Amino acid sequence: MSSKTSRHVLSILVEDRFGELARIVGLFSGRGFNIDTIAVNKTLDPRFSRAVLTTRGDDQIIEQIIKQLHKLVRVRKVHHMTDEKHIERELCLVTVRAAAPKAREDLERIINLVGARVIAYSPTAFTVELSAPSKEVENFLELLRPLGIKDLCRSATIALARPGDDKTSNIGENAA
């Protein structure tokens, strides 16, 4: 086991009942673990929700977290997503100052470079949307900082296992 602290993505299939998210969050806070991001929504099977969260820790801490999550009565499955076996995205909306023609040209180059798109604009600013892995969102924001970021909002990370990953199964298939 590695003692290096790193970022981990966990996908948790849980019964869709009142208070389940609070139990998951309580497990983390009660043991002094931090949740960096969390996104929860219903699955194709309305009996279940999927919580995708990111946290930091070494392999031993993550193993402990996973074991504790499995002890929660309504948690049906916990999947530790590894970099090569999952696809993740984060949504970022950012408003950038771009009144001067040079700033607009720079912004257009950055947008084309990263595959973002303009979703709103005014004579002095543009709101841009990017859906990408978290690291790419970070790089995008660093490119925009010199232009002047007026406001931004980022979603939590969402993730799915890549097709063909044997550790995954259809929602509800063996969850009940």
Q: What is the CATH number of the domain that holds 113?
A: 3.30.70.1150
SS3 32: coil
Please indicate, yes or no, whether residues 70 and 116 belong to a single structural domain of this protein.
Answer: no
C-alpha span between 51 and 61 (Å, rounded): 19
Residue 176 is predicted with a pLDDT of 40
Between 20-30 and 59-71, two packed helices, what is the crossing angle to 10 degrees?
140
Q: Which two tokens stand for residue 92?
A: 């970022």
Domain at 45, CATH number: 3.30.70.260
Look up the domain containing 115 and give its range.
87-158
Q: What is the pLDDT along the chain (176 residues), one digit of tens a residue?
A: 456 889 999 999 999 999 999 999 999 999 899 999 999 999 999 999 999 999 999 989 999 999 999 999 999 999 999 767 899 999 999 999 998 999 999 999 999 999 999 999 999 999 999 999 999 999 999 999 999 999 999 999 999 998 875 554 455 544 44
Q: Is residue 98 part of a domain?
A: yes
H helical segments located in 31-87? 59-71
Q: How many domains does the chain have?
A: 2
Residue 82 is predicted with a pLDDT of 76
Please indicate, yes or no, whether residues 105 and 70 belong to a single structural domain of this protein.
Answer: no
Please indicate, yes or no, whether residues 95 and 146 belong to a single structural domain of this protein.
Answer: yes
Contacts of residue 131, Cβ cutoff 8 Å, sequence gap at least 6: 89, 90, 91, 92
Please indicate, yes or no, whether residues 17 and 77 belong to a single structural domain of this protein.
Answer: yes
Last residue of a domain, one of 52, 81, 110: 81
Please indicate, yes or no, whether residues 13 and 59 belong to a single structural domain of this protein.
Answer: yes
Q: Is residue 133 part of a domain?
A: yes
